Amino acid sequence: MYYKKRKKNNKRCKFTEEQINFMKIRLNKYRDSSREFIYRYFLKFGIKFPVCVKTLYKLICLGFYGFLKQNLRHRGKKYKTKGKFDNRGKLTDFKSIWDIENKVSNVGWFEMDTVVGKDH
């Protein structure tokens, strides 16, 4: 009973032939992202596209109207692949405390024993 009511209530977006042809050209041939596609639709027709960006991505990923996920800009690939070295946030050029010549005269250099404590 719930599923029958849900199926009736669920609003499906219906596109005209002109919208479907424009979508096929822009998404399959020019490989626009959904955000770019909606902006170009607004520039060409002067009206807002009937679905949002998230819904358009969902339609593409589910394969409705003959759209392929491989035709998106990132072509369905994951953003990070396994086994790649990640160098974000790493310090590359730093000096160790033992490499500094004049540790005694520089103010601000502490040994770890003085900060944490002797037995910790």
Q: Which residues of the chain have pLDDT under 70?
A: 10-11, 76-82, 86-87, 91, 97, 100-120
Q: How far is CA 27 from CA 4, 12, 111, in A?
A: 34, 20, 61
CA neighbor of 26 nearest in space, from 77, 72, 63, 70: 72
20-52 per-position pLDDT tens digit: 999 889 888 888 888 888 999 999 999 999 888
Find out whether 70 and 76 touch, Cβ atoms under 8 Å. Answer: yes
pLDDT at res. 32: 84
Domain coordinates of the chain in residue numbers? 16-71
Type of residue at 94: F
